[in-house]
Amino acid sequence: MQALKNTFLIGWPDTKDQVPLTVRDYWNFREELTLNNGVLFKNQRIIIPHCLRSEMIARLHSSHLGTEACLRKARDRIFWPDMTTQIKEAVAKCEVWAEYQTANPQQPMQTHKIPERPWTRVGADPFSLHSKDYIVLVDYYSDFVEVDLLKNTNSVFGVRHTVGVSACNILPVPSKVQCKRRVSRKSREELVQESPAR
Ligand SMILES: [Zn+2]
């Protein structure tokens, strides 16, 4: 780190091969470096010296986050030339993360059939904000989004009722309401409810 500071203070040479070996990795970023109170930055990111890199990785991964999440956190704040590779390697070695991945495999994205008319099939998802319950509805035909205050959150039938009242101010009662039931986060399950035939 001292060599890098020196090079920064003296000024970069004209060609890369004139740069000391320990600093050569920074050649491509030399225009982005600044020194502030003895700390080197690459734009807004602090350049982390060798001796602190393992500790930084350990902190980024302290809650066993995956590679992408760790990288997102890191890329906002810190930098060293081989950071991405080292973070990826550290996460790949983590047994806790590996176990979690096996227990919770990611489901592939699934596309749905586009209905023939608007509001014949809607997606519904309840949520709370400032002690009030709401439901967000998405029409599968148009992707139109509607948010409504929900008075009864205890049952899927309440949800269905709300859907019937709100979305259908415009058009007929949906024939299908697809929603995530808010029992608890663990037992969330996807339900497809048929509403009464009209
Ligand atoms: Zn871990």
Same domain, 58 and 30: no
Chunk the chain into consecutive blocks of 10 residues (it has 198) and report each block's average pLDDT, rounded to whole numbers. Answer: 93 95 94 94 95 95 92 94 96 90 77 83 83 84 84 56 49 56 38 34
Distance 135 CA to ligand 1 centre (A): 36
What's residue 187's pLDDT? Answer: 34
Instruction: Please tell me the distance between residue 188's alpha carbon and the centre of ligand 1 in angstroms.
Output: 26
Instruction: Answer whether residue 1 is part of any domain.
Output: yes
Per the structure, the count of domains in the chain is 3
Same domain, 42 and 4: yes
Q: Cα angle at 13 between 5 and 46, to 5 degrees?
A: 30
pLDDT of residue 171: 46
| Ligand 1 centroid – CA 63 distance (Å) | 7
Q: How far does the centroid of ligand 1 lie from the alpha carbon of residue 41, in Å?
A: 28
Q: Could you tell me the pTM of the whole model?
A: 0.54
Range of the domain at 175: 121-183
Within 8 A by CB and 6+ apart from 161, the residues are 152
Claim to verify: residue 65 and residue 91 sit in the same structural domain? yes
My answer on whether 125 and 177 are in the same domain is yes
Domain harbouring 148, CATH code: 3.30.420.10
In the reported structure, the alpha carbon of residue 51 is separated from the centroid of ligand 1 by a whole-number distance in angstroms of 21
10 shares its domain with 24:
yes
